[in-house]
Amino acid sequence: MEYQRGQLFGYEVREYLREKWGRRCVYCGAENVPLEIEHIVPKSRGGSNRVSHLTLACRVCNQAKGNWTAEELGHPEVQAKAKGPLKDAVAVNATRSAIRNGLCAMSLEVRSWTGGRTKWNRERLGLPKTHTLDALCVGDLAGVSGWHATVLAIKALSRGQRCWTNVNAHGFPRGYSMRYNSYG
Q: What is the pLDDT of residue 177?
A: 65
Contact at 8 Å (CB) between 103 and 112? no
Give yes or no: residues 37 and 8 share one domain. Answer: yes
Segments forming the whole domain that contains residue 126: 87-136
The answer on pLDDT for 21 being more than 80 is yes
In a domain, 149, yes or no: no
Which SS3 state, helix, strand or coil, does residue 80 take? helix
| Inside any domain, residue 111 | yes
Number of domains into which the chain is organized: 2
pLDDT of residue 182: 57
Question: Does 101 lie in the same domain as 61?
Answer: no
What percentage of the chain reaches a pLDDT higher than 90? Answer: 14
Phi, psi of 114 (to 5 degrees): -95, 170
CATH code for the domain in which residue 62 is found: 1.10.30
Q: Judge if 76 and 10 occupy the same domain.
A: yes
Q: Greater confidence, 146 or 28? A: 28
Domain end among 52, 82, 112: 82
Give the pLDDT band of residue 181 (cuts 50, 70, 90): low
Q: Based on the domain organization, do 91 and 47 belong to the same domain?
A: no
User: What is the Cα 54 distance to its own chain's centre?
Assistant: 17
Strand positions, DSSP E, the chain = 35-39, 54-58, 165-167, 173-176
Q: Which of 82, 103, 127 is the last residue of a domain?
A: 82
In a domain, 70, yes or no: yes
The 8-class DSSP code of residue 58 comes to: E
Please state the pTM of the whole predicted model. 0.51
> Which residues lie below 8 Å from residue 53, measured CB to CB, with a gap of 6+?
39, 40, 41, 47, 82
Q: Which of 113, 112, 117, 137 is nearest to 127 (CA)?
A: 137
3-state secondary structure of 153: coil
